[in-house]
Amino acid sequence: MIAQALYTALASDVTLTGLLATYEAAPAIFTTDPAPADAVLPYIVAASIPVDMAFDTKTTLGRTIWRDIRIYAEALGSVVLIDQIAERVRALLHRQTLTVAGYDWVLSDCAGPISADVDLVYGRIITVKITLDKL
């Protein structure tokens, strides 16, 4: 449910998808971890959930979920592309409402991007905090 909401928010943006590779005729945005072994950079992995906790009040049930959105691109000597992708992801998700089945109010806040570079690959992580109220 949350994976689908994130995928839809990211994959429906032509600016973002124009910066990414494709995988099986779709934008290279993966909601499973790890990305497929034959995926080509640049791509996004939106699968890690470091926090999932209750967000209940006296009258409602809810959840707060933090999800790491990891972005990877080839380290070709310039970080322009990876930073463009990261900033676009942040713009699409920060302080935005998402449609999640079974919830009537959803709001997301972003932290980052932070660097997550490894050998020959630039990486950025944006952590999205998603607050949901149950229907």
- What's the total number of domains in the chain? 1
Predicted TM-score (pTM) of this structure: 0.88
Tokens 């049930």 belong to 61
CATH code assigned at 79: 3.30.2000.30
The span from the CA of 29 to the CA of 21, in Å, is: 9
- The candidate with the shortest Cα–Cα distance to 134, out of 50, 56, 58, 67, is 56
pLDDT digits (tens, 9 = 90+) for 64-82: 889 999 999 999 999 999 9
pLDDT digits (tens, 9 = 90+) for 28-73: 999 998 999 999 999 999 987 777 777 777 777 888 889 999 999 9
Give residue 71's domain range: 2-134
The span from the CA of 7 to the CA of 115, in Å, is: 22
